[in-house]
Structure 1
Amino acid sequence: MAAVAVAGGVPLLAACGGSGSGAGSKEGTTTGKALKKVVPSYAPLNLVEPDVPGVNGSSPGFTKLPDPLVVSVKSVPGKGSEFRVMTPLWGTVPKKNNPYYTAVNKAVGATLNFDPQDGNTYQDKIGAVLAGSDIPDVMTIPGWNMQGQIRNAITAKFADLSPYLAGDAVKKYPNLANIPTGAWQYSVFGGKLRGLPMPTPVIGNAIFYRKDLIGSGAVPASADDLLAFGKEYTAPRNKVWAFDDLWTCVQKIFGLLPDAPHYWQLENGKLVHKIETKEYREALAFARKLHDGGYVHPDAEANKDADAKIRFTSGHVVMYNDGTGGWKGMVTEQAAANPKFDMQALDFFSQDGGRPVLWQDDPAGIFTFLSKKLSKAKIEEFLAIADYAAAPYGTEEFMLTNYGVKGTHYTIKDGSPTYTPQGVEEAQPSTFLFVASPPTSIAYPDQPQLAKDYAGWMARQAPHVKKPLFFGMQVVEPQRYASLYTPFDDLQKDIRRGRKKVSDVDEAVNTWKKSGGDKLRDWYQDILDKNGSGN
């Protein structure tokens, strides 16, 4: 369920109660003038010069660790208070009061008592805690865990940070002011700024290909090229297929918005859902051609998605679709097993080979909240600590929070920080990262070529990225529409895999309209009329 995000160059497992026109309503969103009043001003920092500069919001790339490191927080931020902090954790829970926690607490001048919980069952834990009265001082909630009544509890139980951070007030905390506006917009719940966000890249999905397998062969630059590539590289007798399931990125090639609530677009002043567009039908028809040609691996056709990475690294598929956050892990894993392994991301194109239209992903995926019970003084103290946690790559603060104590938790080898066994146990599963995070960066001193490849790829895609209509808005649809899209999940698979026809979409759309699709359109139109768009 968890998506992989990259916060400051360090890989970690990331992915009803917004506001309507008035704060505290159970459905709707906050945008327009109301949103501008509660989000912080943006004041970017340039403390360390990247090797690959960011372009239009793309993540900068770093191939080395600066020497000396930069200091971004000039004085100890804390005032000696204690905070109970609940976060998710995927992996073994470190011992309490270990040298990593001791060093971080000393650096921030406060005692953060972390209570990490199993990330795989975290949603149940969140629900139980929020249903009671014993709320932690600080609590991290991933976006994918905001189900059921959890959104309502966010509005009811967590502090409004707007008085401390809105507008130029954030400049008291330079590292927090360095977080892009979109991530703060997405941290607004119930009409108030409540979350400290973990920012995400402007584009987080790609079609990856095995450059080592195609050699000097051309990579596709149009939908027709992709079909030709499928024909050239599919050899079932050798157990090789050109593609795994590319549906998410096929939609991007046809200019579609793969994820809700960004399905809606304006056409001639009218809201149109993705399933109503000709581009959706064209994308389905194209995906069907990949199937009919036999270019898609049979296990991908059978929905065995969990094995997609294995099919790719083993060479049974030449191209597959995935989140970019896993790129480094796969390259690192294969370095010893297959030194020739060369994984690259395909530049996006429109179906006719022209410039693509790429819709920006959600600007944040995980949020940390402060209890309403905290005093003004303690909220301000914790925000100063969060400013320390949000220090960007290349700073002393970043190295301590991400790697721990030099010599104890990591060493520098060939200019790259490397965890010691104690560091793997205590610092690598850092829960401090959830307190607040800097903008994403691609910092791989241990894999400098990958840093260049990844950051260069994102920089080439970024000029094509646009913000969708409801960008950065925590839209909460009425519960009565929750199952409205469900039939299309099965239908699109049936069409792509030859069991139904593209024309079957028309009847499904008519049913969708009568079952609430038109009413949901009116509901979104009302949001748009009252608040304006998020882009």
Structure 2
Amino acid sequence: MTPNAASASSGPSRRSFLASTAVATAAVAGGMPLLAACGGSESGSGGGTTSGKNAKKILPAYVASNVVTPDIPAKNGSAMGFTGKLDVATLKSSVPKKLGKGGKVTIMSPFWGSPPKQSCAYYTAANAMIGVDVQWQNQDGNTYDQKLGAVLASSDIPDVVVIPGWNMTGRIPSAIAGKFADLGPYLSGDKAKEYPNLAAIPSDAWQRSIFGGALRGLPQPTESAANIVPLYRRDIFDKEGYEVPKSADDFMALCKEITNPRAKRWACGDMKWTAFNNFGVFSGAEKPLGWNLVDGKLVYRIETPEYLEALEFARKLMAAGYVHPQFKLGKSQIGDPAPLFAKGEFLIWNNNLVNWYGQQASQAAQNPDFKVWGMDIWNHDGGNPTLWAANPAGIFAFVNKKASESVIRDVLAVANVTAAPYGTKEWMMTNYGVEGTHYTIKNGVPVKNDTGNNEVVNAYVMVASPAPTIAHPDFPDVTRAMVEWEQRMGAFTRKSSFWGLQVAEPNRYTNLSDNFEQLEDDIVRGHKKISDMQQAVSDWKKRGGDKLRDWYKKLLDENGSAAS
């Protein structure tokens, strides 16, 4: 997460995942977090994973970076935080020796917006710093899965292909092991020390980069702590004397107190995803995370009583009229709730953590009293919550299996620069470009100009990233609050049985759970009943859910868990 990220866009978008890499800050309309990777591949259509001793032989040696020191160290699965302002003149270099050998590398990556020309100042300067002639083949991120399928089915594959986890569907997972190189000979064990910024990527993120029994992906690490936060209008809470709730009953009473349709004020948006956290429901971000060993039996999230209780709670909020009417519409009609939140039409917004800063920054100039804060997640009964960890990486860059050693080493040289930590010369180049050309420093904060906004977008950040970082020197109090919120929530976060593993389900089960999210929304909006969900779960078991359970149990017995 970086200073001056783009303001929240309208509607739910997979771009919200990329906000942590300075690519975009997109609102999550309807409270639906789209940070989800869809599970990777280990052995094609039969599925599988790699963990335990087999994984340890493959993983790069971890060597923490000491080039810069965060103001707030990472803890409990949080990001590290930087609150101080930047002095560009004194930035350190994390890559003292240029590792690129001057070769050409083609990279295909998703892109949102209009890509700049290959000859633009940003690409030229970044390539000169790295010592590699990177040629970008940027593709429309909204239809990227279609392009991926076509490219991977052909014999003409670029040197590097970036694949977000949410695009690992259909035949794409089974193509990864067959089409992309094993990077183990260059990165496993102490070999990674040749690329210090890659060695500083947390091991959990590298664990997620094992596909088909080999280290194939260059990862973008993410926090394992909770990422869905109930944002609230702290300025209005303070003015009206509202107290932050600590239980389901408290929340319901607060919503009743706030809601006044005649005054065009409602308490909240759709709170489904926060309700899942309030009731301790296993993660719904990725299919493998939804499974957990309970009293010796593997249980899927939709089978638990907590799942039904959370849906019922979210439904009651909607039925009572406490939810802003715009959230009752289908996802395609919701639009961007941000202006309604800014106007105070609703005061609590189930959102992605990255948008805490985005909402605050977008209103600071015109409304200096505006203050967004994050509620701690409470357990429904008033006790401590039980939260479930997010996977530690979800976007990966892969190298063509046919690439020569010189090309692979040039790719690693690129990744070693893009994985540079916040506050280094390489980080500034990757995220902001050239001072004077793409940005200026105003009161210690880098601010992009028009050229920077047009050229320094989601390119190099897609190759590899440093350990998760939150850095907003223009709002140091928000930075600290975001990191400390993650740390408090991280203290209550547990890792489910398949956390951190790259699991590929057999093709015959791929679509088994596809309709549950829509049914959840229909129940919350009052179009379906809880009994409809109970019937759907029964049908799921008969259609293959129980057999899928057996498959996962066998996988767990054979490989063990990466969670600790």
Partner residue, 1:447? 475
TM-score, normalising length: structure 1: 0.94
Answer yes or no: is 1:359 the counterpart of 2:381. no
Partner residue, 1:2? 14
Answer yes or no: is 1:133 the counterpart of 2:133. no
For residues 272-421 of structure 1, the aligned pairs below 5 Å read 272-303=299-330, 304-421=333-450
Answer yes or no: is 1:225 the counterpart of 2:253. no
Partner residue, 1:237? 262
SS at match of 1:262: helix
The residue type equivalent to 1:522 in the other structure is: D
Displacement after TM superposition at 1:190 (Å): 1.3
CA distance in 2, matches of 1:139, 1:102: 21
5+ residue gaps, structure 1, are none
Partner residue, 2:504? 476
| Cα 1:298–1:486 shift into 2, 3 Å | same
Q: How many matched pairs?
A: 532
| Cα 1:10–1:511 shift into 2, 3 Å | closer
| Cα 1:46–1:353 shift into 2, 3 Å | farther
**Do the aligned partners of 1:18 and 1:26 also contact (CA within 8 Å) in 2?**
no
Give the aligned CA root-mean-square deviation in angstroms: 2.2
Displacement after TM superposition at 1:151 (Å): 1.4
Partner residue, 2:4? none
| Cα 1:37–1:201 shift into 2, 3 Å | same
Displacement after TM superposition at 1:71 (Å): 1.4
| Cα 1:130–1:287 shift into 2, 3 Å | same
**Do the aligned partners of 1:38 and 1:193 also contact (CA within 8 Å) in 2?**
yes
Question: C-alpha deviations, 1:18-41, integer Å up to 9, x for none?
Answer: 555xx5564222222222222223
Displacement after TM superposition at 1:11 (Å): 4.3
SS at match of 1:40: coil
Answer yes or no: is 1:36 the counterpart of 2:56. yes
CA distance in 2, matches of 1:66, 1:320: 32
Displacement after TM superposition at 1:177 (Å): 1.4
**Do the aligned partners of 1:7 and 1:199 also contact (CA within 8 Å) in 2?**
no
Question: C-alpha deviations, 1:372-422, integer Å up to 9, x for none?
Answer: 111223312321331111000011111111111112221111011111222
Structure 2 residue corresponding to 1:75, chosen from 91, 97, 104: 97
SS at match of 2:530: coil
**Do the aligned partners of 2:106 and 2:160 also contact (CA within 8 Å) in 1?**
yes
Single out whichever of 332-341 and 140-149 deviates more from structure 2: 332-341
Single out whichever of 415-424 and 485-494 deviates more from structure 2: 485-494
For residues 15-164 of structure 1, the aligned pairs below 5 Å read 18=40, 23=43, 26-67=46-87, 68-164=90-186
Question: C-alpha deviations, 1:454-481, integer Å up to 9, x for none?
Answer: 1222222222222221112222222332
The residue type equivalent to 1:99 in the other structure is: A
**Do the aligned partners of 1:230 and 1:243 also contact (CA within 8 Å) in 2?**
yes
SS at match of 1:182: helix
The residue type equivalent to 1:155 in the other structure is: A
| Cα 1:201–1:358 shift into 2, 3 Å | same
Partner residue, 2:229? 206
Structure 1 residue corresponding to 2:517, chosen from 489, 492, 506: 489
SS at match of 1:279: helix
The residue type equivalent to 1:309 in the other structure is: A
The residue type equivalent to 2:243 in the other structure is: A
**Do the aligned partners of 2:63 and 2:196 also contact (CA within 8 Å) in 1?**
yes
The residue type equivalent to 1:133 in the other structure is: S
CA distance in 2, matches of 1:7, 1:178: 21
Single out whichever of 460-469 and 301-310 deviates more from structure 2: 301-310
CA distance in 1, matches of 2:302, 2:436: 56
CA distance in 2, matches of 1:519, 1:210: 47
The residue type equivalent to 1:152 in the other structure is: S
The residue type equivalent to 1:198 in the other structure is: Q
Question: C-alpha deviations, 1:413-458, integer Å up to 9, x for none?
Answer: 10111112222222x2141111211112111122222212212222
Answer yes or no: is 1:461 the counterpart of 2:489. yes
CA distance in 1, matches of 2:208, 2:380: 31
Displacement after TM superposition at 1:519 (Å): 0.8
The residue type equivalent to 1:106 in the other structure is: A
Displacement after TM superposition at 1:490 (Å): 4.3
Displacement after TM superposition at 1:511 (Å): 2.3
CA distance in 2, matches of 1:54, 1:275: 32
5+ residue gaps, structure 2, are 1-12, 26-34
SS at match of 1:307: coil
Question: C-alpha deviations, 1:323-366, integer Å up to 9, x for none?
Answer: 11223222222223333221111111211122212111122221
The residue type equivalent to 2:14 in the other structure is: A
| Cα 1:98–1:493 shift into 2, 3 Å | closer
Single out whichever of 185-194 and 310-319 deviates more from structure 2: 310-319
Single out whichever of 34-43 and 479-488 deviates more from structure 2: 479-488
**Do the aligned partners of 1:17 and 1:190 also contact (CA within 8 Å) in 2?**
no
TM-score, normalising length: structure 2: 0.89
